[in-house]
Every structure is written in structure tokens, then in C-alpha cells.
Amino acid sequence: MLWQSSPRGGIVNALRPFLIMVVFIVAAVIALVLFSYLLFWGILAGCVLYLIAWIKTAFFKKTSLKDPYQKRGNIYDHEE
């Protein structure tokens, strides 16, 4: 029979390297598809967050409670 192991080999022993290669190629294709799927959703979520941040800065200006004319610097108290 062809499927039995024989001293000369057989069809299974002859096809074993090709079967292993096919399994690795299929696994690589599946990994590539999953990575591209995650990359797509990551880019989409990043664009949505960027758009929200841009709208927030464009339309809702930050108002400061500090006096804009106040001098900046350090004040050192000392006794004379």
C-alpha cells in the first residue's frame, strides 16, 4: 500500500515537507489577514480620536483665568 511506511519511503514521507510548507504558508496568510484587520481598525480609531481632538481645539478655545499681562518670574523674599 502507498500509505504504509516502508524502508524505501512512501507517499506520506515524500509529501511531508510539502505538507509542512503548506501549513506554514496558510498560517502566514491568516496572520497577515488578521494583522491587516487590526491595523485597519487601529488607523480608523486613531483618525476618529484625532478628529475629535481637532474639533475640540478648533471650536472650544481654552480660556485662561490668569492675567495675560502678569509678569512671569520668581519672587525671592528676604529680610534685610
- The string of pLDDT tens digits covering residues 46-80 is 999 999 999 998 888 776 666 666 667 777 777 76
65: in domain: no
pTM of the model: 0.53
25: in domain: yes
Given a contact cutoff of 8 angstroms between Cβ atoms, the answer to whether 70 and 64 are in contact is no
| DSSP-based helix, strand, coil % in the chain, nearest 5 | 60, 0, 40
70: in domain: no
54: in domain: yes
80: in domain: no
pLDDT, residue 60, reads 85
Domain total of the chain? 1
2: in domain: yes
pLDDT, residue 15, reads 86
Burial class (CB in 10 A: 0-12, 13-18, 19+), 10: middle
75: in domain: no
Per-residue pLDDT reduced to its tens digit, 26-42? 999 999 999 999 999 99
Domain coverage including residue 16: 1-60
